[in-house]
Each structure stands twice: as C-alpha cells, then as structure tokens.
Amino acid sequence: MDVLDAEFVAGATAIGQLPAPTFAEVAFAGRSNVGKSSLINSLVRRKKLVRTSGAPGCTRAINIFRVRIRTNGDEAHLDLVDLPGYGYAQRSKAERRSWGPLIEGFLRERPGLRGAIVIIDIRRGVQEDDLQLLEFLDSIEVTPILVATKTDKLPASKRKLAVETLRRELGRPVTGYSSVTGDGREALWKRILSVSSIDRPDSSPPA
C-alpha cells in the first residue's frame, strides 16, 4: 500500500457548503485533541497536510483530504474526512450543541461514506460521548473502525493489554496506533481499504 498523492479538497462549517462526494469517503471522529488530524497525517506520511494543535477545540470545520493510493498494483482514490472534535467542555453550551448536528448531518447524509474511524485516547479510554457516537453509527448502519491512539505514551509492556481491555469493553475490534511512531499504520490501512471496498474489484464510487 502506497500513498501516491494527498491534497486538501474542501473545508466547510455547514454540510451544504461541501462539494458532492466524488470518491469513497472515510470519516475521522473523536473527542477534541484525541489526535484525529495527527492520525490522518501519519496515515498519509505527511507532516503538515492537516493542521494539528496543542490547543483543544480549534477545528470547527469539516475538512476533506483526497488521497491517491496504490494497492496490489491498482490505483484508487479515497477521501479522508476530518470531522470537528466533540466533547470539549470549555466551549459555550450553544457552541457545543452546534457541533453535534454538523457531525451527525455529515454521517447521515453523505452517500459516499463507507465507514467512520472512531478515535480514542488509549490512556483515557472510552467516554460517554464516544459510546453515544458508536450507538448513532450503529443506528444509521455506518461501520465504525475503532482506533486507540497515542500508544507511544504507554510503556511498551502495557500497550497490548490496554488495547485488549478496550476491545473487551466495547465488544468490537480495536486497532492500536501511534502517530508519533507510525505503529499500527499497516493494520489500520487494511481496515480502511476493506471498509472502503478498495481491496475488492467493485470499488467504483457510488452513482
């Protein structure tokens, strides 16, 4: 699996401002500061494709990045969608509420959406809003891909157990990841290509 190109396509603070889907899309969701943007950069091996931040709650927009990949000799396009972070307590109530519909609307209304990566900080574990998101994804039949990130922040001896604990707690597969070391990159790409049907012959975008 090689990433040949990666480029910013569009950013918007309302669903109606986004271009219609062209290729298969995979969304990245998680609490503010969990490492969504870093994860996208790490997946495409670009340091600065997506802006990351030490200050939580900065990204209020939906940003779409297009990648061209080569896998098993075939080329394919895939759109990676960085969703606004949720669960940032310091923001005003009105603003927090205005984020829910944007995320929900995107997940509900994009016909090209193949799956949603739900990112959890391995040291913090699953929070109530993560569970709500997973329930919502089940209800609209969008496949979640769970990622436990920042594994580099745990001593190597504790990583496996922490991922396994999360997996048991959620009753779903969890892929450990570190955007600092790239650990988990190959495993996560496999899951992304599988949910996007890019590893199968019928990978053409929806009509």
Ligand X SMILES: Nc1nc2c(ncn2[C@@H]2O[C@H](COP(=O)(O)OP(=O)(O)O)[C@@H](O)[C@H]2O)c(=O)[nH]1
Q: List residues near Mg ion by CB under 5 A.
A: 36-37, 59
DSSP code for 17: G
Query: Quick one: which segment of 1-9, 67-75, 106-114, 174-182 binds ligand X (CB under 6 A)?
Result: 174-182
**CA–CA dist 205, 200 (Å, integer):** 13
Q: Angle at Cα 161 formed by Cα 194 and Cα 173, nearest 5°? A: 20
Pairing of strands 174-176, 144-149: parallel
CB of 46 to ligand X, least distance (A): 13
* Residue span 148-167 as binding mask against ligand X, x where in contact by CB under 6 A, dash where not: -xx-xx--------------
Listed residue (40, 14, 26, 7) closest to 79, CA to CA: 26
The single-letter code of the amino acid at 43 is: L
CB of 119 to ligand X, least distance (A): 7
In this structure, are residues 165 and 118 in contact, taking their beta carbons and an 8 Å threshold?
Answer: no
Closer to ligand X at the Cβ: 49 or 137?
Answer: 49
Closer to Mg ion at the Cβ: 28 or 189?
Answer: 28
Residue from 24, 26, 36, 148 in contact with ligand X (CB under 6 A):
36
Binding site for ligand X (CB under 6 A): 30, 32-38, 52-54, 59, 85, 149-150, 152-153, 178-180
